[in-house]
Structure 1
Amino acid sequence: MTATTIPNSPAQTADTSNSTSTRQPAGLKVIFFTEMWERFSYYGMRALLVLYLVNSLGYDRQNALALYGLYTGLVYLTPMIGGALADKYLGKRRAAVIGALVMVMGHFAMAFEPLLHVALGLLIVGNGFFKANTTSMVGDLYNGESDPRRAGGYSIFYMGINLGAFLAPVVAGTLGEKLGWHYGFGAAGVGMTLGLVQLLWGQRLLGRAGLKPGQEAISLRDTGTILTWAGACVALVYGVLAGWSVIGPWHAALPAALRALLSVAVIGAILWTIARPSKGVEVAPLTKADFGRVVGMLIVMVFVIAFWTGFEQAGGTMNLFADKQTDRDLFGFNVPASLFQSINPLVIVMMAPVFAMLWTRMDQSRFALSDIAKQAIGMVVLGSGFLVMAQAQNLADLNGKVGAQWLAMVYVIHTIGELMLSPVGLSMVSRIAPARLAALLMGVWFLANAAANYLAGSLEHMLEGSGMPLYPFLAALSIGAGLVLLLITPLLNRLMGLGKSA
Structure 2
Amino acid sequence: MSKTHSGHPKGLYTLFATEFWERFSYYGMRGFFVLYLTATLMDGGFGLEKTEAYSIYGIFTALVYVTPIIGGILADKLIGQRKSIYIGALLMALGQFTMAASVRYGLTELVSAREMSLYLGLGLLIIGNGFFKPNISTMVGGLYSSDDPNKDGGFTIFYMGINLGAFVTNFVGGSLAEKVGWEYGFMAAGIGMVASTIWFFIRETSVLSGETGHAVGLPPKDNPTSKFKLGKGDWINILVYVIGLAAITYGVIWGIVNIDGDIIDMIVKVIAVGGFSYLGFTIFQNTSGSTEWSRVGVILALAVFNIVFWSGFEQAGTSFNTFANEYTNRDVFGFEVPASWFQSINAVFIIILAPVFTIMWTRLSDANLNPRTPVKFALSLVFLGVGFGIMAIANDSYKESQALISPMWLVMVYLFHTVGELFMSPIGLSMITKLSPPKIVSVMMGLWMGSIALGNYLAASMTKISQDFGFDTFYFITAYAFIAALVAFAVSPILNRLMKGIH
Residue by residue over 1:363-389, the C-alpha shift from the partner in whole angstroms, topping out at 9 and shown as x without a partner, is 566976432122112101111111111
Change (3 A) 1:26 1:368: closer
> 2:270 matched to 1:286?
no
Change (3 A) 1:262 1:455: farther
Q: Which residue of 2 aligns with 1:440?
A: 443
Q: Pick from 105, 110, 114: which aligns with 2:94?
A: 105
Q: Pick from 70, 81, 89: which aligns with 1:92?
A: 81
Counterpart mapping for 1:222-261 below 5 A: 222-245=234-257, 249-250=261-262
Question: CA offset at residue 352 of structure 1?
Answer: 1.9
Q: Is the 8 A contact 2:72 2:446 kept in 1?
A: no
Q: Is the 8 A contact 1:395 1:401 kept in 2?
A: no
Counterpart mapping for 1:336-375 below 5 A: 336-362=338-364, 369-375=371-377
Q: Which residue of 2 aligns with 1:268?
A: 276
Q: Which residue of 1 aligns with 2:304?
A: 302
Query: Percent same amino acid among aligned pairs?
Result: 41
> 2:28 matched to 1:44?
yes
Residue by residue over 1:31-79, the C-alpha shift from the partner in whole angstroms, topping out at 9 and shown as x without a partner, is 3322211110010011011111011211111111111111111111112
Question: CA offset at residue 153 of structure 1?
Answer: 5.0
Q: Is the 8 A contact 2:177 2:183 kept in 1?
A: yes
Q: Which residue of 2 aligns with 1:169?
A: 170
Give the whole-Å Cα distance in 2 for the aligned partners of 1:351 and 1:105: 34
> 2:494 matched to 1:491?
yes
Change (3 A) 1:291 1:485: same
Counterpart amino acid of residue 188 in structure 1: A
Question: CA offset at residue 222 of structure 1?
Answer: 4.9
Q: Is the 8 A contact 1:22 1:148 kept in 2?
A: no
Counterpart mapping for 1:329-478 below 5 A: 329-362=331-364, 369-398=371-400, 399-478=402-481
Q: Which residue of 2 aligns with 1:61?
A: 50
Change (3 A) 1:359 1:221: closer
Change (3 A) 1:408 1:152: closer
Q: Which residue of 2 aligns with 1:195?
A: 196
Change (3 A) 1:318 1:62: same
Give the whole-Å Cα distance in 2 for the aligned partners of 1:367 and 1:93: 37
Give the whole-Å Cα distance in 1 for the aligned partners of 2:501 and 2:216: 33
Two-structure CA RMSD over aligned residues (Å): 3.0
Q: Is the 8 A contact 2:21 2:165 kept in 1?
A: yes
Q: Is the 8 A contact 1:22 1:149 kept in 2?
A: no
> 2:217 matched to 1:210?
yes
Counterpart amino acid of residue 169 in structure 2: A
Change (3 A) 1:403 1:494: same
Counterpart amino acid of residue 191 in structure 1: G
Q: Pick from 82, 107, 118: which aligns with 2:71?
A: 82
Give the whole-Å Cα distance in 2 for the aligned partners of 1:380 and 1:155: 20
Of 369-378 and 179-188, the range deviating more from structure 2? 369-378
Q: Which residue of 1 aligns with 2:17?
A: 33
Question: CA offset at residue 286 of structure 1?
Answer: 2.8
Give the whole-Å Cα distance in 2 for the aligned partners of 1:236 and 1:127: 16
Of 116-125 and 316-325, the range deviating more from structure 2? 316-325
Give the whole-Å Cα distance in 1 for the aligned partners of 2:241 and 2:132: 13
Q: Is the 8 A contact 1:19 1:147 kept in 2?
A: no
Q: Is the 8 A contact 2:72 2:443 kept in 1?
A: no
Question: CA offset at residue 429 of structure 1?
Answer: 3.4
Q: Pick from 117, 126, 129: which aligns with 2:128?
A: 126
Q: Is the 8 A contact 2:156 2:426 kept in 1?
A: no
Change (3 A) 1:351 1:489: same
Give the whole-Å Cα distance in 1 for the aligned partners of 2:460 and 2:301: 23
- 1:91 partner SS: helix
Give the whole-Å Cα distance in 2 for the aligned partners of 1:366 and 1:216: 38
Segments of structure 2 that go 5 or more residues without pairing to the other structure are 40-44, 103-113, 209-214
Counterpart amino acid of residue 330 in structure 1: V
Counterpart mapping for 1:9-20 below 5 A: 16=1, 18=2
Question: CA offset at residue 229 of structure 1?
Answer: 1.2
Counterpart amino acid of residue 194 in structure 1: A
Q: Is the 8 A contact 1:122 1:234 kept in 2?
A: yes
Q: Which residue of 2 aligns with 1:320?
A: 322
Counterpart mapping for 1:174-189 below 5 A: 174-189=175-190
Of 226-235 and 354-363, the range deviating more from structure 2? 354-363
Change (3 A) 1:204 1:415: closer
Counterpart amino acid of residue 247 in structure 2: A
Residue by residue over 1:389-439, the C-alpha shift from the partner in whole angstroms, topping out at 9 and shown as x without a partner, is 111112222314211111111011111111122233333333234444544
Q: Which residue of 1 aligns with 2:212?
A: none
Question: CA offset at residue 330 of structure 1?
Answer: 1.1
TM-score under structure 1 normalisation?
A: 0.85
Segments of structure 1 that go 5 or more residues without pairing to the other structure are 1-15, 278-282
